[in-house]
Amino acid sequence: MQKTYRELAEEIKTDGERLRLIAALGNSEDIVYHYHLICEDWAAGEQLSLENSFDRHGKEGIVFLLEQLRADESSQQYTDTAYLAAKTLSQLRHRDFYAVLSKELTTLLLAGPEAKEDALRRKRIIALGWVGSAAEIDVLIDFLRGDPDALCRAWAAASLMQLSFHAVAAETVREKTKTVFAEAIRKESDLRAAGIMLEAAQTLFGKKWISAAAAEAAEPKAILKAGKSALRFLTRCSAE
């Protein structure tokens, strides 16, 4: 089996061949080797996206990834594995094991080796949005308020929104973050980060202040206008 996959990987010339390899790995029972190939792909710059079928391993795949986290001391490998586990679990949130394994993964995410690099913190913040609970709202608020990296602040805002799609009632997130979002939008000087924050806030609060295209392009006029509208709304909400 391992020889077959290695030969396939070496012979891939088209997207169709790559997708067939990804599907074959997900449908196999060799979780260890699938993970090994994913790690090789990460090291090579994620050329094949072999993790895209890892959810097909179901509960056994998640349990395996949690075991890797308990044994791993490398910040990069730890973060990549935790991100894969969170992404996979978010695809399996309808399964009966989701709540228990999400709690285990969240604990490991928060207790893992320090992520000094901005890119690693960003991935962990995104992962928390996929699998976190109400208890992680304050953790993400801390990132939104105080992380030195603009994109970490931005993804913290997006992850707070993501919590409302998964394990936390939207009203709970709104109540705890209305003042925080106002503070963050008012202070943010990075246009791209501000655009992401505005998109996250408008989705969470059911508003329409900025288009996705304007936010993605970090259009100064659109962000300034949307920011003023968002602040008026959030300030009013905070006073109620």
pLDDT averaged per 10 residues, the chain (length 240): 59 72 86 90 79 94 96 87 96 92 95 90 96 96 96 98 91 96 96 97 96 95 97 90
Q: Which residues contact 28 (CB under 8 A, 6 or more apart)?
A: 1, 34
Burial class (CB in 10 A: 0-12, 13-18, 19+), 40: middle
Contact of 38 with 66, CB cutoff 8 Å: no
Q: To the nearest whole number, what is the mean pLDDT of the chain?
A: 91
| pLDDT given at position 74 | 83
| pLDDT given at position 180 | 97
| pLDDT given at position 43 | 84
Q: What is the DSSP letter of 219?
A: -
| pLDDT given at position 9 | 61
CA–CA distance, 138 with 133 (Å, rounded to integer): 10
| pLDDT given at position 45 | 78
Per the document, the length of the chain is 240
| pLDDT given at position 7 | 61
The predicted model scores a pTM of 0.89
| pLDDT given at position 13 | 63
CA–CA distance, 85 with 44 (Å, rounded to integer): 20
Token pair of 142 as six digits: 């801390």
Query: Computed from CA positions of residues 127, 149, 204, 219, in that sequence, does the dihedral angle turn out positive or negative?
Result: negative
Of 13, 89, 106, 14, which Cα lies nearest the Cα of 51?
A: 89
